[in-house]
Amino acid sequence: MSPIDDRLHPYYLHHSDNHDFVLVSQPFIGENYPSWSQAMLIALSVKNKLHFIDGSVPKPNSSDFVIYNAWMQSAFDIWNDFKDRFQQSNGPCVFQIRRQITNLAQNQDPVGVYFTKLKSLSKELSNYRPHCSCGKCGSEGLKKIDEYFKTEHVMNFLMGLNDLFSQTRGQILLIDPLLAINRVFSLVAQEEKQKLISNYTQNDNSMAFLAKSK
């Protein structure tokens, strides 16, 4: 079977693979290179075309006209040109985002607002994490790495919560395995709601007592 007809081969083109197809929704504007490149890597990986930009597909022999004409040397060159021109040292960016996460605390914000702020910073930080394109990393290893980052997200969220939620935080930390971040947020938000209802009830009772006293 020719590689062009093999659905599992990078040379295979689906009928939807054309020049008008948009791989990522965000346009490339230079300063968004980290997030844009991460989105492109994911999109190309889904399309099984990642090998054309990482150099893992060897240049075919010119005698094989069909494959040679499908060769994407320009894709490899353009990708590396963009990388050289727009990729800056990750150190200062990662340091700045991590410092913002470390200093982030709930303070006077509702839990939902605080959670959204942390989620935005965590997503920005994820753009600087290395993306495996070698195809040799085992699924179990990748799963453990993913679990580590998810645990880190949960820990950052719990550390920034007000002491008002210390009991709920302690109960969550005792759960093994640790709950997913959305579940943790749901539990804390539920506790916040209960505390607000309790405060309203106490205020109403206080007002009623004062009214009777008069």
Give one DSSP letter per residue of 16-55, joined into a string. Answer: T-STT--S-SSPP-STTHHHHHHHHHHHHHHTT-THHHHT
C-alpha–C-alpha distance, residues 128 and 91, integer Å: 9
Residues whose CB is less than 8 angstroms from the CB of residue 148 and which lie 6 or more positions away in sequence, other chains included: none
* 27 shares its domain with 46: yes
State the 10-residue block means of pLDDT for the chain, 214 residues long: 64 66 79 81 80 74 68 74 78 89 96 96 83 61 83 96 95 94 96 86 54 56
* 9 shares its domain with 73: yes
* 18 shares its domain with 122: no
* 101 shares its domain with 188: yes
Domain boundary residue among 86, 104, 119?
A: 86
Domain boundary residue among 50, 68, 86?
A: 86
Contacts 24+ apart (CB under 8 A), 10-13: 10/48, 10/49, 10/51, 10/52, 10/57, 11/67, 11/70, 12/48
Chain centre distance of CA 191: 27
What is the pLDDT at residue 132? 60
* 144 shares its domain with 116: yes
Domain span at residue 38?
3-86
What is the pLDDT at residue 209? 46
Other beta carbons within 10 angstroms of residue 140's beta carbon come to 7
* 105 shares its domain with 81: no
C-alpha–C-alpha distance, residues 33 and 37, integer Å: 6
* 97 shares its domain with 79: no
| CB-CB contact of 148 with 125 (8 Å) | no
- Confidence (pTM): 0.62
| CB-CB contact of 98 with 124 (8 Å) | no
Other beta carbons within 10 angstroms of residue 196's beta carbon come to 11
* 120 shares its domain with 71: no
Tokens 């943790």 locate to 184
What is the pLDDT at residue 200? 66
